Amino acid sequence: MTARPPLAAAHPARTPLPAFPGETPVAGLGGAGLPTPCLILREDLVGAAVAGFREAFPSVAIHYAVKCNPDLALLRHLRELGCGFEIASHPELELLTSVGVDPADVLYSNPVRPRDHVSRSHRAGVWRYSVDSPREMAKLSQAAPGAHVYARLGTDFTASVVPSEGKFGVAKDEVLSLLLDAGRSGLTPYGIAFHVGSQMTDPRAWDAPVRDAAEIMERLAEKGIRISMLDIGGGFPARYDKAVPGILEFGRHITGLLDALPYPVQVVAEPGRALVAEAGVMVCRVIQVVRRGETWWAHTDLGVFNGMMEVLETAGALAYPISAERDGGPARRYNVTGPTCDSQDTFALGVELPAGLTEGDLLFVGSAGAYTTAYSSQFNGFPPPRTHLRRVRDLA
């Protein structure tokens, strides 16, 4: 794993705002004295990301991927912004209904579900379910009779930073068969879905699946079936330690592909990371600084098992920007590691931080709003970070 030098502090005299050089801070901090570790989410940056996605995809309905960050205050804010939602389990639906989300606005896109999750969500009002196998479709016909199904198309998942390893999705002919068989199972053939893998930085990754979906739509139409929805999934990237193509670039490219569909359908997307990652900063505290041989280690109360799991999952390909409260002056490189006894609990190598870093100092991990708290556990008894949604006026 490699890490970039620390990011510039926007307000050195105050708690600093991790920022990309020359750009607006990716996350702000407020509420001095909050227990660490904690995640601060900036409400205004979430809103800006939603607005930016809508500008890039004006005809695409947003269904936020709840798995990315299921914080209740965040879900409520996204509902107020007019977002729909995508779930992977019935407990995620319960989170949504607790903040006033109508189950009719929810997509259930996990294509393999416990039977009771299906029946409970169907009774609650969810009516759209993904599917990628005949056995799961048979389960839906029994547990959610009359449901509308969208078949999941397989993609080349190998190019994304967080690949999906081929766990879900089937070939074009199988998608066609599933949708043709839906009516005979008492279900409605409703749409096609795909997912290109998380943190996908190349808009061309959508080329093949959109073309495949168009071909399936034509073949279905020849059989007298016209679908209503194309779900282009998530995977839209966020900035971490390096720049990525902006959402407008994705919008221009993918919209051109969608314009070539054989007939109009409702297009939906399931962004998660792209909406909330850059709005979040994880605040952690140094619990010890140790020199072992020629290597300096900064031990913190944040680690892989209570927030930084994606570093381990991606073998360091996903590298978070890290800065210190006491920035400036002489610096040295540190390995930044977590509080547990597990030797793999390290989330950054060779990060440049102040040479005088010491116990009690604060560190800030930028672009931490997605797939951090949602992955956290209580391994070794260390608590998951608390999330705090902050408005701009709270940060002044």
357 φ/ψ angles, rounded to the nearest 5 degrees? -55, 135
Active-site position among 38, 68, 83, 341: 341
Q: Which two tokens stand for residue 150?
A: 């969208």
- How would you write 30-83 as a 3-class SS string? CCCCCCCCEEEEEHHHHHHHHHHHHHHCCCEEEEEEHHHCCCHHHHHHHHHCCC
Cis, bond preceding 18 (omega within 30 deg of 0)? no
Backbone φ, ψ for residue 298 (5° rounding): -105, 105
Q: What is the CA radius of gyration of the chain?
A: 22
| DSSP state, residue 379 | G
Q: Are 111 and 168 in contact (CB under 8 A)?
A: yes
Per-residue exposure over 357-385, b if at least 16 CB sit within 10 Å of its own CB, e if not: beeebbbbbbbbbbbbbbbbeebeebebb
Provide CB contacts within 8 A for 230, sequence distance 6+.
191, 192, 193, 210, 213, 217, 258, 261, 265, 266, 267, 268
Nearest to 197 by CA among 248, 239, 222, 161: 161
Decide if 68 is catalytic. Answer: no
Question: Which sequence positions are flagged as catalytic?
Answer: 341
